[in-house]
Amino acid sequence: MKSVIVLMAMLASAASWASCPEYLDTTMRKLHSSEELNFCESFADRPMLIVNTASHCGFTPQFNGLEALHKKYEAQGLVVVGFASNDFRQEAKDEAEAAHVCYKNYGVSFTMMAPSHVKGEQANAVFKALTEQSKAPGWNFNKYLVDSEGRVVQHYGSGTTPESKELRAAIEQLL
């Protein structure tokens, strides 16, 4: 009986991974870590808030609000993922410093990815797809609310804070 339950759980997991959008079937390295993460394996069938971040930007204090969103909505299934990037020339000089800003200065516990490009021809696969579905980030701390099937529900620019009523209402509606 136990083996049947294990097999059913494995099949359910495989089915959800099979329905994961191609652009999320990508593996990337986590910030200041050798650990790699496949988005489909880790986040299949879960809504996400995907954000391009930078360590030395006027919007960097938004890490506090993003962490608050993560803590408030994680139990309901929301995944917050930050993508460190120097595309707007405001990222830390090295990855160790970027990690220090995120983890020590702002207490980030949500998933942060190693620095990569988020705009243009060199954009990583996730941001290429987000751009195709909505628009490219115009600056740091653009937020993409993505449903459990991988579709962009809404794009928010840098000026929309994690505390905004509009963003929180959209998250709650999605959950």
Residue range 15-47, pLDDT digits in tens? 444 579 999 999 999 999 999 999 999 999 999
Instruction: Name the active-site residue from 20, 40, 57, 102.
Output: 57
Tell me what pLDDT residue 17 has: 46
Question: Where do the domains of the chain lie?
Answer: 20-174
Is 40 among the residues known to form the active site? no
Tell me what pLDDT residue 18 has: 57
Dist CA 147 CA 48 (whole Å): 7
Which CATH architecture group holds 20-174?
Answer: 3-Layer(aba) Sandwich (3.40)
Tell me what pLDDT residue 103 has: 97
- Indicate the Cα dihedral angle 27, 125, 156, 134, nearest 10°: -140
Number of Cβ within 10 Å of residue 175's Cβ equals 12
Distances (CA, A) of 156 to 90, 126, 164: 19, 16, 10
Could you say which residues of the chain have pLDDT below 50?
4-17
Question: Under 8 Å CB-to-CB from 91, ≥6 apart: which residues?
Answer: 54, 55, 56, 84, 85, 98, 115
Q: With residue 126 as reference, give the H or E element that holds it.
A: helix 125-133
Tell me what pLDDT residue 47 has: 97
Question: pTM of the entire structure?
Answer: 0.89
